[in-house]
Amino acid sequence: MLDISTIIVSYNTAELLTACLKSVASRSDLSVEVIVVDNASQDDSAARVSRDFPWVKLITNEQNAGFARANNQALNVSSGEYVYFLNPDAVVQPGAFEAMMRFMASHTDVGLAGTRILNPDGSVQPSVERRYPGERRAQKDLRGLAGEIAWVLGASMIARRVMVEDLGGFDEGFFLYGEEQDLCLRIRKKGWKIGFIPDAAVVHWGGQSERNTSAADLWKKKFAAELLFYRKHYSRGSVLRIHRANVVQALWRIFSLRLTLPLCLDKEVSLDKLNKYRLALKTFHFWKVS
């Protein structure tokens, strides 16, 4: 069995994907396979992989299947003891693979772990969360979970392949955003812990596949993932409390932003926030709590 199966889902990130694959190619002597799933990119991502990286297993989709489904496609053909989910806009730093293997071997109670993530300027990018969305109003639904870490950023995380397969992989109801939160919670519900590997690092540009997406469409996707997470994991009472809190917050933020807008030095930023909360109000106001 191979040590690690590295899975990369690509969508219009040709230049960054090239750098990502080069960083993976410079790995150690560990047995590592690399699987790239191209989600119908409009650039030459797939062609570059096929031409420049013949050792990569390439899966090409005729349409954008979403992040969760694409990862599952690669998972189904992977053979490593561990599965390393890596974003195409990330560059793996030297020694990361060895550090991940050491950590997972010595922390047998950890099912999935995130790595240290750096911004291009070398500063640390927040990647570890200890609370889930809406957790403040759904604490009864989250009692007895293993470990203290709630979830880690999906840009760079390693998991035990057998465990992920037993869970059925990613929930394909999540098209983009929220997948790692859902997966990490399901892992903890099975008694596994979520870990963090500070000795393994990647440089992450972030949001590159969505750089041409409008702010409104971006927030629609994020809100849709959030609502799905609530429905799936929380009781009706918790969902009702979250619903009310989001409506009240949106109303207050709209009121305060409109009040202060004439005094703002950067009106564009304030207008973006105002549009965000208008969309949030529309989303949560018409959300049917079942």
Q: Which of 194, 210, 226 is the last residue of a domain?
A: 210
Q: Which of 201 and 290 is assigned the larger pLDDT?
A: 201
Q: Do 50 and 146 reside in the same domain of the chain?
A: yes
Residues 138 and 259 in one domain: no
Note whether residue 218 is domain-resident: no
pLDDT digits (tens, 9 = 90+) for 49-93: 999 999 999 999 999 999 999 999 999 999 999 999 999 999 999
Decide the pairing of beta strands 2-10 and 80-86.
parallel
Return the H-helix or E-strand segment holding 98.
Answer: helix 96-106
Give the angle 3-6-11 at the CA atoms, nearest 5°.
175
Q: Are residues 165 and 276 in the same domain?
A: no
Same domain? 147 vs 61: yes
241: in domain: yes
Mean per-residue pLDDT for 243-259?
92
Query: Is the residue at 224 inside a domain?
Result: no
134 neighbors 234 (Cβ within 8 angstroms): yes
- Quote the pLDDT of residue 182: 98
Indicate if 202 and 252 belong to the same structural domain. Answer: no
Phi and psi dihedrals of 229, rounded to 5? -60, -45
Asked if residue 206 and residue 240 are part of one domain, the reply reads: no
Q: Is residue 225 part of a domain?
A: no
Average pLDDT of every residue of the chain: 92
Pick from 223, 233, 274, 203: nearest CA to 135: 233
Domain limits at 239? 235-285
How much is the pLDDT for 229? 96
How many domains, in total, are found in the chain?
Answer: 2
Percent of the chain at pLDDT exceeding 90: 79
200 and 61 together in one domain: yes
> Is residue 227 a part of any domain in this protein?
no
Q: Are residues 266 and 123 in the same domain?
A: no
What sign has the CA pseudo-torsion 155, 143, 170, 56?
positive
pLDDT band at 4 (very low <50, low <70, confident <90, very high): very high
pLDDT at 209 over 90: no
Tell me, yes or no, whether 91 and 126 share the same domain: yes
pLDDT score at 206? 78
- The residues, ordered by sequence, that sit 6+ positions from 177 with a Cβ below 8 Å of its Cβ are 221, 222, 224, 225
- Single residue among 210, 225, 248 that ends a domain in this structure: 210
* Token digits of residue 74: 């690669």
pLDDT tens column, 132-185 = 999 999 999 999 999 999 999 999 999 999 999 999 999 999 998 999 999 999
The whole-number average pLDDT for the span 122-130 is 96
145 in the same domain as 186: yes
- Backbone dihedral region for residue 206 (phi beyond 0: left; psi -120 to 50: alpha; all else: beta): left
Same domain for 126 and 255, yes or no, is no
Q: Identify the sign of the CA torsion 136, 142, 143, 145.
A: negative
Q: What percent of the chain has pLDDT over 70?
A: 95
Last residue of a domain, one of 177, 210, 243: 210
pTM of the model: 0.92
Could you tell me the CATH number of the domain that includes residue 44? 3.90.550.10
* Cα–Cα distance measured from residue 217 to residue 57, given in angstroms and rounded to the nearest whole number: 32
Model confidence at 207: pLDDT above 70: no
Whether 136 and 254 share a structural domain = no
Residue in this structure with the two tokens 């030459």, named with its chain if needed: 44
Average pLDDT over residues 190-211: 88
Domain-embedded: residue 68: yes
28 falls in which pLDDT band (50, 70, 90)?
Answer: low
Structure tokens of 72? 């599952």
Contacts made by residues 22-26, CB under 8 angstroms, sequence distance 24+ = 23/91, 23/92, 23/93, 24/86, 24/92, 25/53, 25/55, 26/94
Q: How far is CA 9 from the centre of its chain?
A: 11
> Does any domain span residue 17?
yes
Report whether 81 contacts 105 (CB < 8 A). Answer: no
Any domain includes 206: yes
